[in-house]
Amino acid sequence: MNEQRNNYFKRLNDIFVDVFDDESIKLEDGTSAEDIEEWDSLMHISLMVATEKEFNLKLNAMEVSQLQNVGQMVDLLLKKTGIN
């Protein structure tokens, strides 16, 4: 379980690095839009599209709007892929 979570975390980190074009990004559970300067509503959409592609799933607006931070995002992905 923890291993899966770490794996998802790493994949999500790679997505952030690509989308923000910033190699220095290191996500933590508590990372939120407050912590990354360029994380505006447009970037948010790009993140969603890239995440949907990487994890081969569809995110709905409701789910996404309730997320507070990256940790919750990982938990949502684990849940949607049937791991938790």
Partner 1 sequence: MFDLKSEVKKLVHAGQKDLAAQLILRNLNPEEDFTSHLTKWNLLKRNPPEAKLQKVKLAIVSTSTANHLVDFLKMYFYRAGFEAEIFLTEFRTVEQSVLNATSSLYEFNPDILWLDNNFQDLQFPSNDEKAAIRLGDNLSRWSALWESIQKNSSAYIIQNNIAAPFTRSFGSLDSIESQGRLNFVRSFNQLLASKAIKGVTLFDMEYLSSLVGKKHWFAERYWYHSKHAFNLEYVGIVSSQLVQLVTAIKGKSKKCLVLDLDNTLWGGVIGDDGVQGIKLGNGAHGEAFVDFQRYILELKNRGVILAVCSKNDEANAQSPFLTHPDMQIKLEDISCFVANWNNKADNIRHIAATLDIGLDSFVFVDDNPVERNIVRTMLPEVAVPEMTEDPADYIRILEFQNYFDMISFSDEDRDRSSMYRSNVERKELSQKFTDISDFLIDLNMKSTVGNLDNFYLQRITQLINKSNQFNLTTKRYTEAEMLKVMEDNQYQCRYYKLVDKFGDNGLISVVILKDSGECGLEIDTWVMSCRVLSRGMEDFVLDDLVAVAKARKAKKLIGHYIPTAKNKLVEKHYSQLGFKLFNEDQGTTQWQLELDTLTESKNKFILRESAT
> Is residue 26 a contact point for partner 1 (CB under 8 A)?
no
Q: Does 78 bind partner 1 (CB under 8 A)?
A: no
- Residue 57 as a binder of partner 1 (CB under 8 A): the answer is no
60 forms part of the interface with partner 1 (CB under 8 A): yes
Question: CB-wise, 18 or 75, nearer to partner 1?
Answer: 18
3-state SS, one letter per residue, for the chain:
CHHHHHHHHHHHHHHHHHHHCCCCCCCCCCCCCCCCCCCCHHHHHHHHHHHHHHHCCCCCHHHHHCCCCHHHHHHHHHHHCCCC
Task: Name the minimum Å distance from CB 1 to partner 1.
Answer: 28
